[in-house]
Structure 1
Amino acid sequence: MERLIYHVDVNSAYLSWEATEQLKNGAEIDIRQIPAIIGGDTAKRKGVVLAKSIPAKKYGIRTGEPVTDALKKCPDLKSFPPDFTLYKKYSQAFIQILKKYAPVVEQVSIDEAYLDMSGLHYFYKNPEDAAKLIQAEIRETLGFTVNIGISNCKVLAKMASDFEKPDKIHTLFPAEIPEKMWPLPVRELFFTGAAAAAKLNSLGIQTIGDLANSDVTFLKSHLKSHGEVLWRYANGMDDSPVREEREQAKGYGNSTTLSRDVTEYEEAARILRELSETVARRLRKDLIYARTIEVEIKDYQFHKRSHQKVLDYSTNTTDDLYQISCLLFKELWDGTPIRLLGVRCTKLTEEKIEPKEEEKAPAPFLVENEQSGQITMDFLLQDSAGQHEAGAKTEESDIKHQKRERHRKMEQLDAAMDKIRTKYGEKSIGRAEPLFRRGKDQSSKS
């Protein structure tokens, strides 16, 4: 039996859900119809764009760019802060509707899912009819719109859902690939990041069709295994199954065996940051929070030790995991050369429990260059702030407000990076802290 796969994607999810909630509460203006974004404070000219309306997109505003840049493109832009509790509520309602239509639903992010409709198309005149029913129920019941892509595999269904928006249904079956997909710029192929696209362009590969008709051995010689993956996607080859929602894990963790012993804290901290990034993203993808964070080390003699902290709040932010992991590591490590490092989260919950301000791990500063608008996380400012703590006279209420603001910005940053990685691949974006650190080190020596 030939497979039939749908990819259902909420149109500008964060902004759509905010607009729907506002209209329910009596708002006269639908922010989806005006230039608007989610994720920043236009008054303070801070933050990054997490979602945008179609009118905002016409000004060239992009997801992930600094609000300062967005304001330059559209001075009348309206901005609203993110509300992740609201998003979770709408996401759960969205998935529940999808489960009415398909026996197997794989949620891949807060606002998109794959449906395995194989065999069910016998109950409808054609695949588009079933998609129309799904669209209509979501629109009429929940108040927002979705795009639905239809094909015989996940990658083509995903590509189809990204065609013209909003509230559209598109098919992309193998016979339609040459006409609908191959003329597109290679950058638009799923899992093709900016670096890979630039490399392909330098090789004379401009369109998805160019890529599909290239020699796979040639591609692998320049892009290694990723080259073959992109070649397969360009030719509509993807046999990955739609996986049912799995049973909730007892814990989320990641560890790495090092190619050489680590003897410096700075190097261990860099590895902990990468591990924290991976674990936190998995938590966010599954809409799960953790209340216990554990660090594991194994020394060069393979002696294993671990240390954990139980929190009075729940978290899934990269920065929380990183900051707490570093504190645990400092308490655990005696200087013995390290062969393995690991970070693990347990005591899982679907509930976001707010922290007590005095015990909340401090978040790094989100530094925004006023001239360039470049957003940079500075973990070093923590140390600088601590050195001057004795002389600081900031009121307690101001300190609490600053902590809340920093934590909110880290949530926004995580959300923006997750969106970009989901669309363009894991290596499409990274945190700028190592580069920023080198810059500070160099300036301090001059």
Structure 2
Amino acid sequence: MEEKRNTIFHIDVNSAFLSWSVVYRMSQGEDMDLRNIPSVIGGDEQSRRGVVLAKSNLAKQYGIVTGESLYSAKRKCPNLVIVAPDFNSYRFYSKELINMLKNYSPCVEQYSIDECFLDMGVLDKKDAYEEAYAIKERIKKELGFTVNIGISDKKVLAKMASEFNKPDKINTLYSEEIKEKLWPLPVGELFMVGRKAKEKLNKLYIFTIEDLAKHDVTFLKQKFKSYGGLIWEYANGIDSSKVQCQSEEAKIISNSITLPVDVVNKYKAHDILVQISEQISVRLRKENKFCSGIAVNIKNKDFISYSHQKKLANPTNSTKHIGKIAQELFDEVWKKEPIRLLGIALYNLSEEFTHQVSIFDETEVYSLEKNQSLDKALDLIKEKFGDKSIKRFNNNI
């Protein structure tokens, strides 16, 4: 009987600094997409000091590499567009990515500003690929940039898989695939093998990852100390490390949508809040929990955030109730300015449901039971036919 194993995703933003600069600049009304011209992120455009932090594919065709001086890059490509980095917006988009991914797994480990691991639990290969595709496309649609996703049963292999083909690709590298997909690669492409290590390994006639995997590990440890044993293990797909969950149990459930176009209409914002409340309440019910606090988060076109929250008299997991309160909170706090992001957060979570109503208020009891039945029916339909199989309209909230 085959042992059940968790599926791990490694998500890597393609040319993160360049992509995030593009998304921000276009959100401010700029038409030029830096990804479609020879361009780099790094230093100061006027003085041309500093080094290349990120480059477009067209810049790469001129031989420009990450880490070289801007002066050298400009000599290779005189019409190169140089854009200074904007780390505030990079941190913003990194956080937006992590928040979105938390909707797919309770166990997300941020590895760097543009990389993270997800423990997706036990999935067969077909379901894992379909889930990765859904994540990749949602990031592209809602956040405006592309990612690569590596899929494996080991963290190091998932990371290696995300490097195979770029950009905007999904690749697998399960333990049983390393001989076919990993071993033929040059040893310098193995995770943790840099330029200097590659040169030393080549002098030992170790040119491919297979050469390293089949080499005498005792000799490697004598030559490179613990590092030799580490890269030998990685070459053989040996990695027992786990995805480090930020918390064992969610104290808050949240979801947000970054809008492709700034929203200035109240009713359009209400429609988006319906969509978010639908997604977030399904997750709440899946965890058999109720919330007694709801908050609405708004981010304007200048990335200034503000929120409004309310404590409930009775816990709820009703989509209709959550959506209605979210709309009321929005109306109370919105400053009538263009909206870049809308979000809903549910807090004060519990597994107990208590509802205090008057013994004479039969209408309220009936409405409560009706909403619970509707939510249950819609959840079953979505579970069987997919999230897009049925949609709740604003006038049904």
Give the alignment's TM-score, normalised by structure 1: 0.53
What is aligned with 1:184?
185
What is aligned with 1:95?
98
1:246 Cα deviation after fit: 6.2
Cα-to-partner distance string for 1:113-171 (whole Å, 9 max, x where unaligned): 0000122x26x942110001101111111100000000001100000001111110000
CA distance in 2, matches of 1:30, 1:224: 47
CA distance in 2, matches of 1:156, 1:102: 19
Quick check: which has more Rg, 1 or 2? Answer: 2
Cα-to-partner distance string for 1:373-413 (whole Å, 9 max, x where unaligned): xxxxxxxxxxxxxxxxxxxxxxxxxxxxxxxxxxxxxxxxx
What is aligned with 2:110?
107
Aligned residue for 2:102, secondary structure, equals: helix
Q: Quick check: 1:3–1:152 contact (8 Å CA) kept in 2? A: yes
Are positions 1:157 and 2:143 aligned together?
Answer: no
Are positions 1:212 and 2:249 aligned together?
Answer: no
1:34 Cα deviation after fit: 1.2
What is aligned with 2:176?
175
Are positions 1:2 and 2:11 aligned together?
Answer: no
CA distance in 2, matches of 1:67, 1:109: 24
Q: Quick one: which amino acid aligns to residue 202 of structure 1?
A: K
Q: Quick check: 2:45–2:84 contact (8 Å CA) kept in 1? A: no
Aligned residue for 1:190, secondary structure, equals: coil
What is aligned with 1:67?
70
CA distance in 2, matches of 1:22, 1:206: 43
CA distance in 2, matches of 1:45, 1:18: 18
Aligned residue for 1:103, secondary structure, equals: coil
Q: Quick check: 1:189–1:234 contact (8 Å CA) kept in 2? A: yes
Cα-to-partner distance string for 1:158-188 (whole Å, 9 max, x where unaligned): 0000111111000011222122111211111
CA distance in 2, matches of 1:212, 1:70: 37
What is aligned with 2:140?
139
1:64 Cα deviation after fit: 1.6
What is aligned with 2:19?
16
Q: Quick check: 2:19–2:35 contact (8 Å CA) kept in 1? A: yes
1:60 Cα deviation after fit: 2.1
1:140–1:4 Cα change, 3 Å: same
What is aligned with 2:374?
none
1:91 Cα deviation after fit: 0.6
Q: How does 1:33-432 map to 2 (within 5 A)?
A: 33-119=36-122, 121=123, 125-245=126-246
Are positions 1:27 and 2:30 aligned together?
Answer: yes
> Which ranges in structure 1 are unaligned for 5 or more consecutive residues?
248-446
CA distance in 2, matches of 1:42, 1:90: 23
Aligned residue for 2:129, secondary structure, equals: helix
1:43–1:166 Cα change, 3 Å: same
Aligned residue for 1:238, secondary structure, equals: coil
1:3 Cα deviation after fit: 2.0
1:224 Cα deviation after fit: 1.1
Aligned residue for 1:139, secondary structure, equals: helix
Q: Quick check: 2:5–2:153 contact (8 Å CA) kept in 1? A: yes
Moved more, 152-161 or 47-56: 47-56
CA distance in 2, matches of 1:244, 1:55: 38
* Percent identity of equivalent pairs: 54
CA distance in 2, matches of 1:141, 1:238: 34
What is aligned with 2:267?
none
CA distance in 2, matches of 1:231, 1:240: 16
Q: Quick check: 2:154–2:175 contact (8 Å CA) kept in 1? A: no
